[in-house]
Amino acid sequence: MKNAEKLPILIFLLVFIFGMENSIAQSEQSVSATQKSEFWSKVRFGGGFGLALGNNYTDITLAPGAIYDFNQYISLGFGIQGSYVKQKNFFESYIYGASMIVLGNPIPEIQLSAELEQLRVNTTYENNFNSVKDNFWNTGLFLGAGYQTNNVTIGLRYNVLHNDNRNVYSEAWMPFVRVYF
């Protein structure tokens, strides 16, 4: 076939495909809107923000997250974290990564948690002669329990993978405050 003979067939196929796609999209749109509203009604957003300023010391952390409530007992969430820490004339560190958390509420006031966190740590130590770089991955597995009221949970968590020689956190035990709206 010559190109001129193929043109009407091509136009017909394009109109047919776009017409079918439009009718399918319209029928799925009503179902999809209901599904989306159900899904998003079970998603809660929150996270953390930290700021510590002192004598030649700066620590800034931003850690947004979201959780999906499967039911009143179980939730699953994901988060990201970024931190900047500096002690003047000693070290400067950039820390960033992601986490996944599972929350369980056996009763409304008690929240149990398991959180897996993977952070990349880029630190430069300074002295009068030179600077030394220390870059590593830090994995934490935190098991915790807390008291929950409304959208806020206050508790204590323990890092079962804590290593005193190579860790972002100085202690395995850490208090926490979680807020999800």
> What is the pLDDT at residue 41?
94
Contacts of 75 (CB under 8 A, 6+ apart): 44, 67, 68, 69, 102, 103, 104, 105
- Closest to 123 measured CA to CA, from 96, 97, 91, 84: 91
Please, what's the largest Cα pairwise distance for the chain?
82
Per CATH, the number for 43-179 is 2.40.160.20
pLDDT of the chain, 181 residues: tens digit per residue: 454 555 556 565 555 555 555 555 555 555 566 666 899 999 999 988 889 999 999 999 999 999 999 999 999 999 999 999 999 989 999 999 999 999 999 999 999 999 999 999 999 998 878 889 999 999 999 999 999 999 999 999 999 999 988 888 889 999 999 999 9
Domain ranges of the chain: 1-41, 43-179
> What is the pLDDT at residue 137?
94
Tell me what percent of the chain is helix, strand and coil, each rounded to the nearest 5.
20, 60, 20
Q: pTM for the whole thing?
A: 0.76
> What is the pLDDT at residue 142?
97
